[in-house]
């Protein structure tokens, strides 16, 4: 009675999708996607942070019509959730980023492509033609400035609306699974978004065109913002101080992110960082969030705490591994159903109805209290 129809015989939640998708991956690839740096403290805290926040449902509200849609990068999207940049989708499925793009476009979901993607940005964007969603490109700043600009120009040419500039990767986090498993890009795959002449299979050989820029400063952020027609979002902000500096540098927005727990282990969770940043920015720029989202109610909590939009990176990977494009679609459908249900049971018919008053946070005395 009143229950929605099953979408899959095995997968009823993102937790199920993670389990079933992981089963189809090799140990090396599964640990590359699912794990993070060092002892995985930050990776695990990203998800646990959402459990430290509870919902305060409001009742006897007309929720006969629920609208989860919003706008992001000028595109109307089905819900405040998009696909954040994640490397090497072809490790999960032969169609890789092409299948992810088709699922995103058909669902009205924006997608950001990783510099380390296994498909060229122009081909990814073509898969979404006619659907109205928006695409963006992620950039990991390297020492050679021209290489950075080449990535930017290719993204502009492909029609990208946003550039996600990773700012928490001056050096690579110590990911123990990659050491234990000897992880590397398989010989049959390439990084087509990097300029020609860079050997993607010689990761230990120094090349300024692929070496992360340890001297990346706020002055270089300003220079990059001035170098592109795309909206620039700084991905990897965790403090109010840096959020203010991002706004001062002309960034259109930030992504509150700790790289999915893959960089500095022991860094705070993104949800815990969000409140301070929202209070400091005071609406000057867009505030997006990624890290730890596994349920539609998690999206609701992030919006209630002030996020304008949310992003997920591992969920499309698990969907790809499970069943290609259909698996990615399945993950999106589950999240939208759960978000719709959460909004209905909390008395919210549209996103603007969601407020901090719908949440309670775990306090030091062990009790949950209204925000």
**How far apart are the C-alpha atoms of 127 and 151, rounded to whole Å?**
20
Confirm or deny that 107 is annotated as ligand binding.
no
Confirm or deny that 244 is annotated as ligand binding.
no
Confirm or deny that 23 is annotated as ligand binding.
no
Confirm or deny that 149 is annotated as ligand binding.
no
**How far apart are the C-alpha atoms of 88 and 100, rounded to whole Å?**
12
C-beta separation of 316 from 35 below 8 A: no
Confirm or deny that 251 is annotated as ligand binding.
no
Q: Are strands 70-72 and 75-77 parallel, antiparallel or unpaired?
A: antiparallel
Q: Are strands 253-256 and 368-370 parallel, antiparallel or unpaired?
A: unpaired
Q: Which 3 state secondary structure label does DSSP give 256? A: strand
Confirm or deny that 190 is annotated as ligand binding.
no
Strand partners, 91: none
Confirm or deny that 102 is annotated as ligand binding.
no
Q: Which 3 state secondary structure label does DSSP give 292? A: coil
Closest CA to 30 of 177, 187, 203: 177
Confirm or deny that 235 is annotated as ligand binding.
yes
Confirm or deny that 257 is annotated as ligand binding.
yes
Q: Give all strands (DSSP E) within the chain, no chain letters.
A: 53-55, 70-72, 75-77, 81-83, 111-113, 135-140, 162-166, 231-237, 253-256, 286-290, 309-312, 359-362, 368-370
Confirm or deny that 212 is annotated as ligand binding.
no
Q: Which 3 state secondary structure label does DSSP give 82? A: strand
Confirm or deny that 314 is annotated as ligand binding.
yes
Confirm or deny that 262 is annotated as ligand binding.
yes
Confirm or deny that 27 is annotated as ligand binding.
no
Show Cβ contacts of residue 331 under 8 Å, excluding neighbours closer than 6 positions. 14, 17, 315, 316, 318, 319
Confirm or deny that 175 is annotated as ligand binding.
yes
Confirm or deny that 32 is annotated as ligand binding.
yes
The catalytic residue among 259, 288, 309, 358 is 259
Residue 259 appears among annotated catalytic residues: yes
**How far apart are the C-alpha atoms of 347 and 120, rounded to whole Å?**
43
Confirm or deny that 288 is annotated as ligand binding.
no
Confirm or deny that 352 is annotated as ligand binding.
no
Would you list the DSSP string of 231-249? EEEEEEE-SHHHHHHHHHT
C-beta separation of 355 from 59 below 8 A: no
Annotated binding site: 32, 85-87, 114, 138, 166, 175, 235, 257, 259, 262, 290-294, 313-314
Annotated binding site for glyoxylate: 32, 175, 259, 262
Which residues are designated catalytic? 259
Annotated binding site for FMN: 85-87, 114, 138, 166, 235, 257, 290-294, 313-314
């Amino acid at each position: 009675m009143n229950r929605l129809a099953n979408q899959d015989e095995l997968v009823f939640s993102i937790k199920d999708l993670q389990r079933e998708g992981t089963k189809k991956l090799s140990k090396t690839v599964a640990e590359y996607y699912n794990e993070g740096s060092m002892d995985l403290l930050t990776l695990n805290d990203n998800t646990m942070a959402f459990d430290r926040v509870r919902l305060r449902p409001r009742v006897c509200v007309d929720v006969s019509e629920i609208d989860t849609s919003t706008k992001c990068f000028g595109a109307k999207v089905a819900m405040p959730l998009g696909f954040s940049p994640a490397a090497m989708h072809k490790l999960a499925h032969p169609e890789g980023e092409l299948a992810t793009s088709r699922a995103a476009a058909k669902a009205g979901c924006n997608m950001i492509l990783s510099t380390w993607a296994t498909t060229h940005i122009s081909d990814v964007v073509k898969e979404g033609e006619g659907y109205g969603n928006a695409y963006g490109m992620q950039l990991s700043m390297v020492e050679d400035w021209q290489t950075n600009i080449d990535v930017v120009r290719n993204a502009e040419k492909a029609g990208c609306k946003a550039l996600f500039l990773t700012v928490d990767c001056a050096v690579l986090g110590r990911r123990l699974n990659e050491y234990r498993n000897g992880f590397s890009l398989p010989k049959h795959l390439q990084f087509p978004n990097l300029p020609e002449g860079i050997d993607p299979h010689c990761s230990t050989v120094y090349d300024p065109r692929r070496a992360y820029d340890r001297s990346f400063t706020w002055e270089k952020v300003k220079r990059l913002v001035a170098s592109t027609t795309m909206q620039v979002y700084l991905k990897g902000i965790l403090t109010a101080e840096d959020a203010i500096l991002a706004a001062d540098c002309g960034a259109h927005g930030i992504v509150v992110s700790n790289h999915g727990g893959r960089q500095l282990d022991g860094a705070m969770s993104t949800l815990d960082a969000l409140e301070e940043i929202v209070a400091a920015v005071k609406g000057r720029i867009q505030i997006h969030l990624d890290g730890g989202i596994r349920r539609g109610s998690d999206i609701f909590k992030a919006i209630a705490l002030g996020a304008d939009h949310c992003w997920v990176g591992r969920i499309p990977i698990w969907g790809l591994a499970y069943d290609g494009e259909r698996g990615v679609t399945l993950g999106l459908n589950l999240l939208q159903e759960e978000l719709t249900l959460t909004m209905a049971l909390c008395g919210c018919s549209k996103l603007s109805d969601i407020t901090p008053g719908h949440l309670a946070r775990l306090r030091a005395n062990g009790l949950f209290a209204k925000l």
